[in-house]
Copies of this chain bind each other. A is one copy, B any other.
Amino acid sequence: MRAHIDRFFANGPGDTDGLRGALAEGRFAAGDIIAIIGKTEGNGGRNDFSRELAVRALADELAEPLGLSRDAVLDRVIFSFSGGTEGVVSPHYLVVWRTGIRPSRPVGPKRLAVAAGRTRPFMVPEVGRRPMIEETARVVRQLMAAARVAPADVHMVQIKGAILPGGEHDGRNNMVYSRAASALGVGVALGEFDTGDLSDETVARDFSLFSRVASTSAKPGLLRSEIILFGNSPYWEGDLLAAHEVMDDMVDLAAVGRLLSSLGLGDRLPLPQAASDRLAAVFAKAEADPRMLLRGRRHTMLTDDDVQDMRYARCVVGAVLAAATGDPACYVSTRAEHHGPLGGGPVVAIARVGEATR
């Protein structure tokens, strides 16, 4: 079994030339695609329609080869798009696909493993509360088992959390609480914190509890949370390896250095070109520190009424990652409740480290 990641650059949210060309030339089969993850050039907010356009256009490309309607494609493949390519971040999407069969025993050194799934449908009072945390944790555990990834080898759990239609008047059925409960669910599944004190009140309030590998967003109208797990496993072949670190703040270049070093890309920043070329994907979660300070100095990201703080957060972290790696195609998303410490967040890289086969 082997996980693959192909990266495509888009000239706009509706540009699907990359995917279409790869399918036409047989680079991968539509049926092998697990997920498509991408950044589009919207504002990342409520009126960002670039995500919807990209998902619609890419799903349309898969409909014919899969022999499915667009809706059925969306039920089969996980599309995870984040708006906002502020600064140097280049709009792109990653096609995550999988080949081969599940081996009965370890095949060699650990390599990238991926698995995707969905929670059961939620009811309104569950969103942002313990039932969502627990169901999320259950599915994360299930995906680890299915992909044969140990908790310590999980490097990113990307979740698009449910927000139920008709629940507008429940104070928890919204972006903040759905993201927060999803992240706590990851932490529970991986044993990242003591669950003894965990309650509904913890959600979006007690930020001392957090996951170091969650990357969650939320989407109004989604009935079931969509989860994709990236880790390393000796049951998987290939040349890709994942790693993660936690940035303590938005300019924590040392954390990025440790991350890249842990993948064998050397210990000097910026990466030399040859090392940069080995990167298959870089992800990060970012947020402007709500305490209004960074390294003890006042920042103005949260008091600028012309530009949202989320745009600044993505711009800053994207710039730091591009400077460190030499590659402006990173996936930075915002709002990071229970994702690493306040003002910081997880950063994940997947690199080509040399073939491992039976």
Contacts and interface: CB of A to CB of B under 8 A. Distances in A.
Contacts of A270: 253-254, 257, 269
- From A41, A254, A303, A319, residue with most partner B Cβ within 10 Å: A319
A300 B269 contact: no
B13 A328 contact: no
Contact of A316 (B43, B87, B311): B87
A316 B41 contact: no
A45 to B, nearest CB: 3
A323 B316 CA distance: 9
A145 interface: no
A327 interface: yes
A251 B53 contact: no
Interface string A298-319: 1111011111100110011111
Given A47-B41, A320-B319, A9 B298 contact: yes
A92 B45 CA distance: 21
Nearest to A307: B307
Contacts of A86: 300, 304, 307, 312, 315
A167 interface: no
Interface in A274-303: 294-295, 297-301, 303
B323 A90 contact: no
Interface residues of A, number: 63
A11 interface: yes
A229 interface: no
Given A87-B316, A323-B323, A297 B56 contact: no
Contact of A299 (B11, B269, B328): B328
| Oligomeric state, in copies | 4
Contacts of A324: 253, 323
A222 to B, nearest CB: 15
Nearest to A12: B49
B305 A43 contact: yes
Nearest to A92: B297
B295 A326 contact: yes
A316 B254 CA distance: 18
A232 interface: no
B319 A250 contact: yes
A91 B327 contact: no
A47 B299 contact: no
Contacts of A201: none
B47 A304 contact: yes
A112 to B, nearest CB: 23
A319 B320 CA distance: 6
A257 B48 CA distance: 37
A85 B312 CA distance: 11
A14 B297 CA distance: 17
Contact of A47 (B45, B306, B326): B306
A327 B41 CA distance: 29
Interface string A237-268: 00000000000001111100100000000000
